[in-house]
């Protein structure tokens, strides 16, 4: 058997564990995760390479009913990621009930020509008796090529999943260097790591109104790094929340983000954060393009 390679998209509703799954597979944090829905905003490529195969994974934004232009962009990214792939992994939260959102996704994928796997995530929170009715329910909805219960956090059945994907991949070349794990620019990953800490530390409307722009990454002679970034929000009140009393919230965001950025850059990091207001940027096409959200590219 020759070398195998192919393209695999991970899709599903918001907050079902798509990014956690890809991070576990790659053994590296390239996609942020949180308990907030719609954490992932853009397609993220993750590269899994062995001596026998290379899988080009695409982690996608959660498919949802958009409420603004950013939401429309996110759903467009997820839909586009289902085109011209070798396998689609449809991830569901096994602890959630079937609803109109799941039916909408099934309507999108049931006539796809490529194999579609159903992955039932969060089985670490379920019993064996809980899983069988879920399998029966989804079997009635469409003909999945494979149904695999997994835990993206604990890694249960993930090795099995990779082995099954390999069976479906065509023989092909290694598309990317073996030591490459993502196509994401360094600054984009840093921006997402900062935004993840905002998601973790803030509540209500604030996390969804945040965008992060990394304006400078400089390596100094001693091997340390100086990173500058701007956190954008839509309201003055949100700016106050991000900064916090006597600047404490901003310091907390910075200290937590710095740990992950140091892991990424493999060096000590001095991180300078500023906060600016850009009103209603999620519904402004120019602002969206400036932040890199553009379905036309």
For every residue of 80-120, DSSP letters joined together read: HTTTT-SEEEEEEETTSPP-HHHHHHHHHHTT-SS-EEEEE
Cα–Cα distance measured from residue 134 to residue 246, given in angstroms and rounded to the nearest whole number: 50
Domain regions of the chain by residue span: 4-168, 186-290
Our CA dihedral for 250, 256, 257, 260, rounded to 10 degrees, sits at: 170
Beta strands 4-11; 53-59: pairing state = parallel
* pLDDT of 296 over the 60 cut: no
Which token pair is 211?
């965008």
SS3 content of the chain, % helix, strand, coil (to 5): 40, 25, 40
pLDDT tens for each residue of 23-79 = 999 998 887 777 766 677 777 889 999 999 999 998 887 777 777 788 787 777 777
Give the alpha-carbon dihedral of 26, 28, 31, 37, to 10 degrees.
Answer: 90
156, 125 contact by CB (below 8 A) = no
For domain 4-168, is the CATH number 3.40.50.300? Answer: yes
CB atoms within 10 A of CB 212: 23
Q: Which helix (H) or strand (E) holds 9?
A: strand 4-11
- The CATH number of the domain covering residues in 186-290: 3.30.300.20
Please write the tens of the pLDDT for every residue from 75-110: 777 777 788 899 999 999 999 999 998 998 999 898
- Calculate the average pLDDT of the chain: 90
Q: What average pLDDT score do residues 274-294 get?
A: 88
Phi/psi of residue 279, each to 5°?
-55, 130
């Amino acid at each position: 058997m020759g070398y195998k390679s192919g393209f695999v998209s991970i899709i599903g509703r918001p907050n079902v564990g798509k990014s956690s799954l890809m991070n576990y597979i790659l053994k590296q944090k390239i996609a942020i995760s949180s308990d907030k829905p719609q954490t992932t905003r853009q397609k993220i490529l993750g590269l899994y390479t062995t001596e026998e195969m290379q899988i080009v994974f695409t982690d996608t934004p959660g498919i949802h009913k958009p409420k603004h232009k950013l939401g429309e962009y996110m759903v467009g990214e997820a839909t586009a990621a289902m085109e011209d792939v070798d396998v689609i992994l449809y991830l569901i939260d096994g602890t959630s009930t079937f609803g109109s959102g799941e039916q909408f996704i099934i309507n999108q994928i049931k006539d796809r020509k490529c194999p579609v796997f159903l992955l039932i995530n969060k089985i670490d929170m379920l019993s064996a008796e809980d899983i069988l009715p879920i399998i029966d329910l989804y079997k009635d909805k469409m003909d999945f090529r494979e149904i695999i219960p997994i835990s993206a956090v604990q890694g249960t059945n993930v090795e099995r999943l990779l082995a099954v994907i390999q069976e479906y991949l065509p023989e092909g070349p290694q598309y990317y260097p073996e030591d490459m794990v993502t196509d994401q620019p360094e600054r984009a990953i840093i921006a997402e790591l900062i935004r993840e800490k905002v998601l973790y530390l803030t509540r209500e409307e604030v996390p969804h109104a945040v965008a992060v722009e990394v304006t400078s990454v400089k390596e100094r002679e001693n091997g340390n790094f100086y990173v500058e970034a701007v956190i954008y929000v839509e309201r003055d009140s949100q700016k106050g929340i991000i900064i916090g009393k006597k600047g404490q919230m901003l310091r907390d965001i910075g200290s937590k983000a710095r740990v992950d950025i140091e892991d990424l850059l493999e060096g000590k990091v001095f991180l300078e954060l500023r906060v600016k207001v850009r009103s209603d940027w999620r519904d402004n096409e120019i602002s969206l393009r400036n932040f890199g959200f553009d379905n036309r590219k």
